Amino acid sequence: MILFLIGLAAGIISGMGIGGGAVMIPALVIFVKPEQHIAQSVNLIYFIPTAIIALIVHVRNKRIDFKMALPIIIAGFIGAYMGSRLAINLPGLVLRKWFGVFLLAMGCYEMVRKSREKEEKK
């Protein structure tokens, strides 16, 4: 049941375009307790079908700028290869810490960004 709930929460976040891994990986590590490499690998395989569904919905609603997406996709392929090679060679504890730092940095960025938006509206 816990795996179903984790998948549901991550799916909702993924469908919004935010990235379900931000929910799935910590939830798996906290509640299911796999190794960090396993949690991140499960997130990668989970991402494929959920991204396809979200992509279909967003294409139907004409919410994708393909000219903007193409260079990002190309660079993403290169980055994904480099990142996966790096992750394979990192100990699980180091990988977990880097992921935590990434989530913390994104959270801080969002708080600062929201504060700036509120100040600009005044």
> In this predicted structure, what is the pLDDT of residue 51?
87
CA-CA distance, 24 to 48, in Å (whole number)? Answer: 14
Rounded to whole angstroms, how far apart are CA atoms 43 and 45?
A: 6
Query: How large is the average pLDDT for residues 36-55?
Result: 92
Average pLDDT of the segment spanning 38-59: 92
Which pLDDT belongs to residue 46?
92
Position 74 scores a pLDDT of 97
Residues 56-113 pLDDT 10s: 999 999 999 999 999 999 999 999 999 999 999 999 999 999 999 999 998 899 888 8
Find out whether 28 and 34 touch, Cβ atoms under 8 Å. yes
Rounded percentage of the chain residues whose pLDDT exceeds 70: 100
Model pLDDT, residue 80: 94
